[in-house]
Amino acid sequence: QVQLVESGGGLVQAGGSLRLSCAASGRTFSRYAMGWFRQAPGKEREFVAVISWSGGTTSYADSVKERFTISRDNAKNTVYLQMNSLKPEDTAVYYCAADYRGWATTDIGGYDSWGQGTQVTVSS
């Protein structure tokens, strides 16, 4: 079981940037994919971005394309989410998750381990 801890959330003005980190510890699995999801109050958790083990495959939700960039540093067991041009509608708790199969799926059901989340608030 991989333990995931998010960090880097906070308050930022619209148009600003924020970089989230997710550090993995404990038992890890070779070639696992990592994803980011978010959940706003009153809404379901939704897919944001995913990256394969090698970083060669990435996928983004339409709402964040060309604004967010997912990356990873396997030597540090860490995945990042660079968020630019933030909008108030990006306000949510952001969660990272590990997909042990390494399929880099956008499906929330395809993930095996989850972090506790980090709050991102974008003010107008």
Q: What was the pLDDT predicted at 48? A: 98
Q: What was the pLDDT predicted at 27? A: 73
The 10s digit of each residue's pLDDT in 75-89 is 899 999 999 999 999
Residues 6+ apart with CB under 8 A from 64: 48, 49, 83, 90
What distance in Å separates the CA atoms of residue 27 and residue 89, rounded to the nearest whole number?
35
Residue 105, pLDDT > 90, answer yes
Q: Nearest-CA neighbor of 8 among 72, 60, 59, 79?
A: 79
Per the document, the length of the chain is 124
Q: What was the pLDDT predicted at 124? A: 93
